[in-house]
Amino acid sequence: MSFSWAKPYEPKQPFMRWLDERLPLPRLVYGAIGGGYPVPRNLNYWWNFGVLAGLFLTIQIVTGIVLAMWYFASADGAFNSVEHIMRDVNAGWALRYIHMNGASFFFIVTYIHIFRGLFYGSYKAPRELVWMLGLVIYLLMMATAFMGYVLPWGQMSYWGAQVITGFFSAFPLVGEPVRVWLLGGYAPDQAALTRFFSLHYLLPFVIAAVVVLHIWALHIPGSSNPTGVDVKEEKDTLPFHPFYTAKDGWAAAAFLTVFALFVYFAPNYLGHPDNYIPANPLATPAHIVPEWYFWPFYAILRAFTVDFILPAKLWGVLAMFSSILILFFLPWLDKSPVRSGSYRPVFKRFFLLLVLDVLILGFCGGAPATPLYVAISQLAAAYYFAHFLIILPLVSAFERTLPLPDSISSSALHGEKKEAAPAGITPRRGATAIAE
């Protein structure tokens, strides 16, 4: 699709020729993830996480469909039906633990994928739509994960639903009616549980559809790369298959090994013990916390403690939603023509600060709301907004970037370990040199 030297599909077997003439599905696959998609040859391992995210989406859909065969979306029976899966269904505990930890791992790989995009400027022209579709996927993932967490109908499910739908009531006038309408009642109950189940089953397929758009939009300019320099000639690229299928393949096996260690040896490490207590509308847990992947946003929500013109709760909700929405404007906030952070010394420092900042926000969001943690998250949240909306535009206007390499293949001369090394900076000694 993307480059003139992309190999066209040539059916080798008569059946494939027959099929290709009638329905060019093999041609589509070949051009998308086969030998017909040329990819920059210098991608590093940060580029593996997109494929891994696709893998985890598949795992979640497959295990989810089987779980739904046993799950019973009823306020009286949901909790026990999950326990029935855990105790009586053949390998039900494995299915359920894979699905439960799979959600966490889906977020882990997605966060790495997002931060890779942030560092290497993958959101910049001509890939703005790739970035924005990715954010849409991320928003859909958050909605799906939240509703999935409600389904076991444990204490955290119930109170999480209570708190998160409560966001809407922060808005004046319309807020409370909207909340009641969304829940189908004044508090989470049967109506909310049934609709959450219905949507939890629907949204993954919407995600899959947006993933198709995400990949489609990506394949127009082709993948970015660690130097951020555009592909110029055939030498700069390698066909996706077999080169990147091989690289993604072994990375996927390695990552699944880590995943398996969690599923089989620490399945509840990432969860909260309170969710093994059946939902009880009359007993509020001491600390209501969402799943770990929402902690940074939860910290931003709780950081607003002063009624300044608007009520604090409304500030919190607005800021929490904005913290993701501003990412949609990123291609226009960061106008630096240099994509890769490797060639942007000032940007690189602020990027590392942002990573640290989000980790601090995450930690504070998971911790109880003591004055100390709230104070830390206030500073961290202030930095978060300042980073994207003030610092990034200024940096991109004033920064002096390092000289870029002439092309991907001249950068790749350093050998794979230093493939992203900026030109003009001596690669580390001992970088492989196989003389021709």
Shortest gap between Cβ of 121 and other proteins (angstroms)? Answer: 17
Q: How far is the CB of 308 from other proteins (least distance, A)?
A: 5
The reply to whether 176 belongs to the active site is no
Mark whether 272 is an active-site residue. Answer: no
Beta pairing class for 237-239 and 38-40: antiparallel
The smaller minimum CB distance to other proteins, of residues 193 and 303, is found at 303
Give per-residue burial for 378-391: e unless 16+ CB within 10 Å, then b.
Answer: bebbebbeebbeeb
Catalytic residue among 223, 336, 377, 396, which?
223
In the residue annotation, 21 being an active-site residue is answered as no
Identify which of residues 55 and 238 has a Cβ nearer to other proteins in the complex: 238
99, 124, 200, 219: which is the annotated catalytic residue? 219
Q: Which two tokens stand for residue 134?
A: 């990715």
Helix residue ranges, H only, 120-189: 128-150, 155-166, 175-183
Give CA angle at 313 (312, 319), nearest 5°.
Answer: 90
Residue with Cβ nearer other proteins (187 or 389) = 389
Q: How far apart are CA 322 and CA 372, in angstroms?
A: 24
**Least gap, CB of 372 to other proteins (angstroms):** 8
Look up 247 and say whether it is catalytic.
Answer: yes
Cβ-based nearer residue to other proteins, 187 or 254: 254
Candidates 124, 247, 387, 418; catalytic one: 247
Of 113, 236, 248, 419, catalytic: 248
From 265, 315, 334, 318, select the one nearest 118 (Cα to Cα). 334
In DSSP terms, which residues pair with 238 in a beta bridge? 39
Q: Which is nearer to other proteins, 202 or 254 (CB)?
A: 254
- 232 labelled catalytic: no
Q: Is 278 helix (H, G, I), strand (E, B) or coil?
A: strand
Residue 232: Cβ within 10 Å count: 14
Contact 105, 56 (CB under 8 A): yes
- How far apart are CB 151 and other proteins at their closest, in Å? 17
Return the CA Rg of the chain.
24
51 vs 249: CA distance, rounded Å? 9
- Supply the minimum distance, in Å, between the C-beta of residue 178 and other proteins: 23
Q: d(Cα 241, Cα 246) in Å, to the nearest integer?
A: 8
Q: Tell me the catalytic residues.
A: 219, 223, 247-248, 291
